Amino acid sequence: MPPPAPQPNVRVVTLTIDGKDFSARADETVIELCRENKIPIPSLCYMDGLSIWGACRLCLVEVVGQGRLVAACSTRVAEGMNIRTNTERLQRYRRTIVELLFAERNHVCSVCVSNGHCELQWLAQKCGVDHVRVPYRQVRNEVDSSHEMFRLDHNRCILCTRCVRVCDEIEGAHTWDVMGRGSDCRVITDLARPWGESETCTGCGKCVQVCPTGALVKQGTSAGEMVKDQHFLPILARRRHAQ
């Protein structure tokens, strides 16, 4: 789902977030409004400039009067909404989600090329994850080093699908996809062929830059050296959607 182009005549709604009043364009999502107003909401799959995925569930917020939690990235603002972004329940859920991400694959921060530049590592600290309460799955995941410039380490992938979306929506190559279900789920290039043999990959590296962790990195980087540069995305996304 590509983000809709902004409409010229859009209504303005007023709503409450954490007890403060805000006004917003009716076509905005809750997370967009929060980001504009520097209200911190953790997220991993959401990325400004890419379509909405709603997979990581870290941006869950409470809407007063509504029993279920909603994802701030995929919920539009509405007149009179009363939103809470940082309750004890939300903190508990976010913490658990981050812990499950760490337990699912092998994120060994100390020996990761993205150490110190990783959104998952940063979020863990922000959410107060100082240890993981569930047992680690301890499953071996493959590393694909077949591409001459880039490397894919499934051990560090959290399946946010930013790579899939940026490749399809911004680069227009659609090299990436998702294969398998549940714990077998993984990102693939072409029809699950080695990345280096991909006929569609243009080698642009956008997937590497948007990847929040050390799953997609440049070849030749060692621990802590993989600094990502995401400046291209808002610029390209704006131009793409303006057409």
Instruction: Find the shortest distance in angstroms from Cβ 144 to another protein.
Output: 17
Instruction: Find the shortest distance in angstroms from Cβ 221 to another protein.
Output: 15
Q: CB-wise, 17 or 217, nearer to another protein?
A: 217
d(CA 96, CA 177): 27
Q: CB-wise, 120 or 187, nearer to another protein?
A: 120
Dihedrals φ, ψ of 95, to 5°?
Answer: -60, -45
Contact set with another protein (CB under 8 A): 102, 106-112, 115-116, 121-122, 124-126, 128-133, 135-136, 138-140
Instruction: Find the shortest distance in angstroms from Cβ 92 to another protein.
Output: 15
Instruction: Find the shortest distance in angstroms from Cβ 178 to another protein.
Output: 22
Q: CB-wise, 12 or 134, nearer to another protein?
A: 134
Helix (H, G, I), strand (E, B) or coil at 60: strand
Residues across the chain: 243
Q: CB-wise, 51 or 141, nearer to another protein?
A: 141
Contact predicate 187/177, CB 8 Å? yes
Q: CB-wise, 133 or 239, nearer to another protein?
A: 133
d(CA 195, CA 174): 13
Instruction: Find the shortest distance in angstroms from Cβ 154 to another protein.
Output: 12
Q: How far is residue 226 from each of residues 31, 111, 145, 151, measured CA to CA in Å? A: 28, 12, 15, 11
Angle between helices 119-126 and 88-104 (to 10 degrees): 140
